[in-house]
Amino acid sequence: MRHHAFVIEAAAEAGIVTAQTWAKKELGMKAQSNPDVVVMKYGLLSVEDARRATELAAGKAFAGDTKVVIIAASRAYHEAQNALLKLFEEPPAGAYLFLILPSLGSLLPTLRSRVQVLDIHVGPPRSYIPEVAEAFIKASKEKRSAMIKKLTSGKDEEERRELREEAITLVNGIEAAAYRRRGDTLRLPQGVTSPSARGVTSLLSDIAALRGHLYDRSAPIKMILEHLSLVIPKGLV
């Protein structure tokens, strides 16, 4: 049985491309100039936005019987997530739904239980690197320290949550860069190895080990970022 409701943990653009790639592969639907592939982008998803998405999903498709609704947001109010519960539990006939968030740590368990997590590895977006991650990778040791300090210096709970989500986006971006570099290494002629290949493999291993701690509200984000700052191999991007 094919799932109709998905959530993707990724930066907005990378997640949108993943959803569109899935729709093309599984449904034969091209995203470009297709009114039945709807993309909605928000900084903060509100209850009104969630209701608008519900209305769009319930509307008839322009061509055929299938419609894809992609909702990308940097954050989503809990009230907005609650407003999406019924839609994601019982999508309208022919509707396929995608919710894209940079972190699933803030996703309500009730909503998460109604969706399938779509792995961003399935499509081309693995090569997409968020600007914050690219800047961090290219930065000097001193600038990385300044970025880490900024990401871990929230004045209140709301700001700390926003910065934590940005830090998770940063880690995801570093991982994306490492996967892309590893792919480049695998395409080298037989017998030729990249000097950073071992460092990339080690970096991916470290990120895999640390990822489980990222979504804990008491996670030592500062220590995680400082560690990654030290082990990122030269020439990653």
- Other residues' Cβ atoms within 10 Å of the Cβ of residue 133: 22
Q: Which H helix or E strand runs over 224? A: helix 221-231
Provide the pLDDT for residue 122: 47
- pLDDT over threshold 90, residue 223: yes
Per-residue confidence (pLDDT) for residue 192, from 0 to 100: 46
Model pLDDT for residues 1-42, shown as the tens digit of each residue = 467 999 998 878 888 889 999 999 999 998 888 999 999 998
pLDDT at residue 95, rounded to an integer: 95
Q: In percent, how much of the chain has pLDDT > 70?
A: 87
Q: Over pLDDT 90: what percentage of the chain?
A: 40
Closest CA to 21 of 75, 94, 70: 70
User: Domain coordinates of the chain in residue numbers?
Assistant: 5-125, 129-231
Which residues, in sequence order, are CB contacts of 153 under 8 Å at separation 6+? 163
3 state DSSP class of 213: helix
Neighbours of 164 (CB within 10 A): 21
Mean pLDDT of all residues belonging to the chain: 84
H or E segment and range at residue 8: strand 5-9
Residues 53-63 as b or e (16 or more Cβ within 10 Å = b): bbeebeeebee
Identify the band that residue 129 occupies on the pLDDT scale cut at 50, 70 and 90: confident
Least confident stretch, 79-83, 88-92, 158-162, 232-236: 158-162
Closest-CA residue to 41 (of 87, 132, 102): 102
The CATH number for 5-125, chosen from 1.10.10.60, 2.60.40.2240, 3.10.620.30, 3.40.50.300, is 3.40.50.300
pLDDT at 149: 94
**pLDDT (0 to 100) of residue 121:** 54
Using 50, 70 and 90 to split pLDDT, how confident is the model at 108? confident
Distance of CA 173 to the CA centre of its chain: 9
Count of residues making up the chain: 237
Biggest alpha carbon distance in the chain?
Answer: 57
Q: Which residues contact 58 (CB under 8 A, 6 or more apart)?
A: 92, 95
